[in-house]
């Protein structure tokens, strides 16, 4: 039997993992190149380097909102800069 608190904790963890996974996916599907609408490969190399940190967080049993928020912000900033 799962308590309401345990269910809420699982729901929260799933939401955090989903958020981080979506941020990762958005960067991984970005087409890289020098043409208009593509992401600068050199700038996106920084995104790729942060993927290891993201995967380490996702492998933890419990992740925090702060971890997800910090890394999501960083990954999104890199991705947006890579579009310039």
35-60 pLDDT, tens per residue? 888 888 888 898 899 999 999 999 99
Q: Which pTM value belongs to this model?
A: 0.83
Q: What is the pLDDT of residue 57?
A: 94
- Provide the pLDDT for residue 22: 95
The answer, yes or no, to whether residue 12 has pLDDT greater than 70, is yes
Q: What are residue 32's phi and psi, to 5 degrees? A: -105, 140
Residue 31 CA neighbour count, 13 Å, CB half: 5
Q: Regarding predicted confidence, which is higher, 58 or 82?
A: 58
Residue 32 CA: distances (Å) to CA of 25, 51, 79: 14, 16, 11
CB atoms within 10 A of CB 40: 15
Is residue 14 over pLDDT 70?
Answer: yes
Please check the confidence at residue 84 and state whether its pLDDT lies above 70.
no
* Cα angle, residue 46 at apex, residues 35 and 61 outer, rounded to 5°: 130
63 sits in which H/E element = none
């Amino acid at each position: 039997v799962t308590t309401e608190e345990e269910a809420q904790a699982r729901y929260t963890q799933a939401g955090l993992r989903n958020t981080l996974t979506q941020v990762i996916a958005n960067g991984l599907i970005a087409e890289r190149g020098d043409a208009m609408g593509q992401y600068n490969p050199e700038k996106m190399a920084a995104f790729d380097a942060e993927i290891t940190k993201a995967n380490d967080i996702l492998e933890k049993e419990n992740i925090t909102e702060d971890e997800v928020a910090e890394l999501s912000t960083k990954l999104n900033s890199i991705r947006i800069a890579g579009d310039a």
